[in-house]
Amino acid sequence: MANIEVRNRERVIEELRVFIKKVLVEPEIIGTSLQITRECIDEDDADHKISEQLSATTNVKIPAQHSEADRLFIELLKEVVRDEKALY
């Protein structure tokens, strides 16, 4: 694996680690994140709208230029909401 790839993976892991710590300290972030995702999932540019609302209403700050970890988190939120919808 190239040195750049290793550094990118390490950066993503560190970002996710910091995020998990935030959630452990403030577990209400998950409920808020899922509610925002439910509201925005079917809109145009849903990822951008989800990240803007998360940044405005929680301790999770997602910059306009999403990192790989940001994209992974948003995709995970959308997957959970889609799974919820599939159950009903």
| Residue 1: band (very low, low, confident or very high) from pLDDT cuts 50, 70, 90 | low
- Specify the DSSP class assigned to residue 27: T
Percent of the chain exceeding pLDDT 90 equals 64
The two tokens of residue 23 are: 């959630």
> Residues with Cβ < 8 Å from 49, sequence gap 6 or more?
40, 43
How many CB atoms lie under 10 A from the CB of residue 46? 16
Q: What's residue 39's pLDDT?
A: 97
pLDDT in tens, 64-75: 899 888 999 999
